[in-house]
Structure 1
Amino acid sequence: MELLTALRTHRIVAIVRGADADAALRTVLTLAEEGLALIEVSLSGTDALDVIRRARAALGPAAPLGAGTVLTAEDAAAVREAGADFVVTPAVCEGVTEAKRLGLPVLAGVMTPSDIVAAQRLGADAYKLFPAAQAGGPGYLEALRGPFPDAPFVPVGGVDDEAARAYLARGATAVGVGSPLIGDAADGGSADALRERTRAFLDAVRLPAAQRQGSSA
């Protein structure tokens, strides 16, 4: 898949991490039904590889499906076998190198300029600014864009719908959202509430009409 194109188009990645594998799968499918196209299943959730396998079977081969918290070469190989077609890491680590070797696009976790340079050298497709809120929020993103004006940043960590708007306004390519969007859905919570939150986030990241028209001109 063309990860960078997808990030620029959809502008949000949902991060699913749950203690209940069946609920996590339902969460993935609910997000997809509501039109949220980029979904990441974190390996830190219960039976995450099985969730990825079942989600891939349910969504079909064409739907983007990511695996997160990929740290090692073994993680990268396992998520590829399970059906993930992009990888998200929390840091610049072995998972980046192996995922690229396997032909998977990577959203690599970074915080500092040194991290960004290291991730660039490994061929990362985009940069997960994590944890974004603790790093300094939208102001820190704007500061990083000085030395890295063309780098595709995806802030993750503490991103609610208002923060999503602020990051995108400061030049983020997309945002990654976990608990402010997922809530308790991946642990068995309300699917209806998840649907409402999903619609609110999709509205928050939607391009203004003028920009949509400009991008299609």
Structure 2
Amino acid sequence: MSNKSEKLVSLLAGQPVIPVLRIADAKQAVPLARALARGGLKAIEITLRTPDALEAIRRVAGEVEESVVGAGTILDPAQYDAAAQAGSRFIVSPGITKELLKASADSDIPFLPGAITPGEIMAARQVGLTFLKFFPAEQAGGAAFLKALASPIADVKFCPTGGVSATNAAGYLGLPNVICVGGSWVAPDDLVVNGEWSRIEDLARAAAELRKPA
């Protein structure tokens, strides 16, 4: 595994579920991150799908010592740089492009790009990226597809995201080429909007107990 992929794995190690968060109001970011951390989910991905996303990352990075905040839905180098400057510890993209690979090469912030086809996965592997996001996981073939990749591309590991839920996460985590999964079920929009942090903490605790088989 490459140095950058190893760095990313070390950030996410031991956490079976990475919360994928859409934060509409930056004021919600700090209490949300703290609730997830109390439940055992310290590494979180805040997606750049709202105008407040960068400010949310900035606040968590600056105020929640126990959290490891990353940025998701990064589509171009400008977003990569903005997320890094906001304090992101890792960068996640739904796909992989030459421009994003160059931004990653020029940055110390580790990159988790999305890949679903054998060709995309092999292209990422050739440039030293051996820990990838598998997105959209359920729509792209799910756990059965990932299981089929485990033998021919054995040295590449994945974080499946997209359609992953409390009901099917264990099926992914049981695969030898899956390190963790990404999911939004631990912080549903309605609970975030209503500030129901204790309920989110409970969901996080249940997710943190989903362990890979020994």
Smaller-chain TM-score bracket: 0.7 to 0.9
Number of residue pairs matched by the alignment:
206
Deviations along 1:22-49, whole A, 9 cap, x unmatched? 2233222211222212111111133111
How far is the alpha carbon of 1:196 from its aligned partner?
1.8
1:196 to 193, 202, 206: 202
CA contact (8 A) 1:75 1:95 kept: no
1:15 and 2:32 matched: no
How far is the alpha carbon of 1:88 from its aligned partner?
0.5
State the alpha-carbon separation in 1 of the partners of residues 25 and 67 from structure 2: 23
Equivalent residue for 1:88?
A: 92
Equivalent residue for 1:34?
A: 39
CA contact (8 A) 1:21 1:47 kept: yes
**Percent of aligned pairs with the same amino acid:** 34
How far is the alpha carbon of 1:95 from its aligned partner?
2.8
The alignment's C-alpha RMSD in Å is 1.9
State the alpha-carbon separation in 2 of the partners of residues 125 and 76 from structure 1: 19
State the alpha-carbon separation in 2 of the partners of residues 96 and 198 from structure 1: 32
How far is the alpha carbon of 1:143 from its aligned partner?
0.9
Structure 1 alignment gaps of length 5 or more? 212-217
Deviations along 1:81-117, whole A, 9 cap, x unmatched? 1111110010002334303311111111111111112
State the alpha-carbon separation in 2 of the partners of residues 187 and 120 from structure 1: 40
Structure 2 alignment gaps of length 5 or more? none
SS at match of 2:45: strand
2:29 to 20, 24, 37: 24
Higher helix share: 1
